[in-house]
Amino acid sequence: MTAGDLLQGGGPGPTGGRFSTMRTPAGAVPVDAPWWNRQRRSQMPSHRYTNVFDRVDVPLVDRDWPTRRLTAPPLWVPVDLRDGNQALAEPMDPERKRRFFELMVAMGYKEIEVGYPSASQTDYSFVRLLAESDLAPPDVTVVVFTPARRDLIERTVEAIRGVRNKVVIHMYTATAPTWRQTVLGHDRASLLDLILRGAGDVMSLAGDLDNVRFEFSPEVYNLTEPDYVLDVCNAVTTLWDATLDRPVILNLPATVEVATPNVYADQIEYTHKNLSRRESVILSVHPHNDRGTGIACAELAVLAGAQRVEGCILGNGERTGNVDLAVLALNLHAQGVDPMVDFSDIDEIRRTVEYCNRLETHPRHPYAGDLVHTAFSGTHQDAIKKGFAEHRARAQRTGLPEAELEWRVPYLPIDPADLGRNYDAVIRVNSQSGKGGIAYLFETEYGCSLPRRLQIDLARHVQAHTDATGAEVSAHDVMTIFEHAYLGNVPETIELVTLESVTHGNTTTGTRVTLRIHGAEVHGAFRGVGQVEAIIALLAEHDIPLDVVSLHQTSLATGSDSDALTLVEFRVGGRTRWVAGRSRSVLTATANAAIRAACTIADEITPRTRSLQSVGVTKAGPP
């Protein structure tokens, strides 16, 4: 391609006229700019905004936080079920809230904000579920959220009565000048009176509950006058009688990020050093991510004296999100500090968070994205391969398992295996990207976008084909390879005989399924599960564990028609594999994919005697 080829179709000027809506900076070069910096003044209306130092005083002069190191995790408090949930276009239903809560418990979180019980019946009912069941382990503290209004505080206390776990009632009020004047219509004195009335209501309604402690957030702390923060917080801890045995949590949110992280650290350290009853206060932070520096704000805040961090797993939240607890924890892990929560199956965590939030994770998201362990650059790939070779050689030389050795592989901050991932994406990516854009051909010809991990797996099959034939591949060739690899014949050890939903009135209550396994029919009736889940459950009852890692439903265009295509990633024999199902019906395609995966598993399971009779197998009673 020549320079002329690149310029064809463009208009006049350096950008070819393609970006006519842009206003290329045309102002003067600053007189004090060095010769190597030719940036010009732009037309952006930056003069409309006031810098943070003119909006709020930051009185700290002598700083200790720059000389400190992170050597232990703070108390992590996920707020996905409250703060994250209220930021969703479609808030979580009860099933999603329960599933997310169970994930947090499995990961090892010991303090969880579970909802805003005065704001919705769903949140209230979830808190009551915790009171009336064993869903929350005894060592998990439950946090509930309320504004400083007596009627809402009453509803909140009503929700927690009977909860056997430790409980924190979290009261908040915005204290920054713009919020208190424009939103709430108060001056400093009247807002303090409102806050103390709310704190008094909390104390009078819940102070006699031995398992309850209190938390207060001066919302928009980072834009509130430091002296006013101290006045308000000291008044609240005095009213609540903070002691070592019943400490008060003071949560200091960067509700809207407005400054560089060092400013927030200065604010936290100033408050930390000047609070009354400091030994009876748990100092907490709640950074948001408006400037993209929520992680740095949280880490520097801990250096500055914070003991507790509120955030969301994978960073969901209003606007640009809350601070990401997963990234914070794994940053510590990468520095040799135990984060005291488990991320050994990052893909399961990500799938659950995506399901509950109905939001996808960016492929470049730190630690959790599909591409974070992938190198497209040949030089990076070479360095990683050499790093792996050195790692294996060192293991042989020292006699230690590879999983216990110090990690030194270039470009990979942590071992992907720590997160439950393998090295396929790292070592196969050049084969994928060097064969003419396999995924691009598939999408442009058939209108089907494949998941990243399946693209990598498909590239392996295409590589084997091109190595054997020495020929270039067309979109048709890619489809043929795809069909052979994922839609091809498998041993027909398992067949789907019938699959039907059971309804009661207009409500689906369960699923009945019949399979033929090694020629014998087995039946199952399952209450409260979908059709694919019913297939998986019946397979499990007959020692065929179908562990689905991911499931993607898409369509495949062929001429003027299109078929449903379901792609299933599953575990078998310690590794993951892919199969597909194709049909005019989405449900049939998904069921076919599940059966194809089950046949693959059954073929690899060591043959053993099975006593299968044609009898009904019912789980949890008939639907």
Q: Where in the chain is the domain with CATH 3.20.20.70?
A: 68-357
291-308 average pLDDT score: 98
User: Does the domain formed by 68-357 have CATH 3.20.20.70?
Assistant: yes
pTM across the whole model: 0.75
The proportion of the chain whose per-residue pLDDT surpasses 90, expressed as a percent, equals 71
Degrees (nearest 5) of the Cα angle 564, 588, 570?
A: 85
User: Does the domain formed by 370-433 have CATH 1.10.287.1400?
Assistant: yes
For the chain, what is the mean pLDDT?
Answer: 89
Q: What is the DSSP letter of 83?
A: I
The whole-angstrom distance between residue 191's C-alpha and the CA centroid of its chain comes to: 36
The tokens describing 231, both together, are 């006045």
- Report the sign of the C-alpha dihedral through residues 335, 340, 344, 346, in that order: negative
The whole-angstrom distance between residue 59's C-alpha and the CA centroid of its chain comes to: 36
Range name among 105-114, 159-168, 437-446 with the lowest pLDDT average:
437-446
**pLDDT, tens digit, for every residue of 480-513?**
999 999 998 877 789 999 998 888 777 777 889 9
433 confidence band (pLDDT: 50, 70, 90): very low
Range name among 15-19, 136-140, 345-349 with the lowest pLDDT average:
15-19
Residue with tokens 């607890």: 325
How many H-runs (helices) and E-runs (strands) does the chain carry?
Answer: 20, 15
The proportion of the chain whose per-residue pLDDT surpasses 70, expressed as a percent, equals 90
103 confidence band (pLDDT: 50, 70, 90): very high
Q: Does residue 436 register a pLDDT over 60?
A: no
504-528 average pLDDT score: 87
420-437 average pLDDT score: 52
Using H for helix, E for strand and C for coil, what is the string for 164-221? Answer: CCCEEEEEEEECCHHHHHHHCCCCHHHHHHHHHHHHHHHHHHHCCCCCEEEEEEEECH
Q: 3-state DSSP: the chain helix, strand, coil percent, rounded to 5? A: 40, 20, 40
407-433 average pLDDT score: 74
Residue that wins the pLDDT comparison between 557 and 257: 257
The tokens describing 186, both together, are 């108060």
* Amino acid 73: pLDDT: 98
181 confidence band (pLDDT: 50, 70, 90): very high
* Amino acid 37: pLDDT: 97
Q: Where in the chain is the domain with CATH 1.10.287.1400?
A: 370-433
* Amino acid 87: pLDDT: 95
Residue that wins the pLDDT comparison between 237 and 491: 237
* Amino acid 307: pLDDT: 98
Give domain 494-619's CATH architecture: 2-Layer Sandwich (3.30)
Q: Does residue 608 register a pLDDT over 70?
A: no
* Amino acid 527: pLDDT: 86
Q: Where in the chain is the domain with CATH 3.30.160.270?
A: 494-619
* Amino acid 562: pLDDT: 85
Enumerate residues 6+ apart whose C-beta is below 8 A from 547. Answer: 570, 571, 572
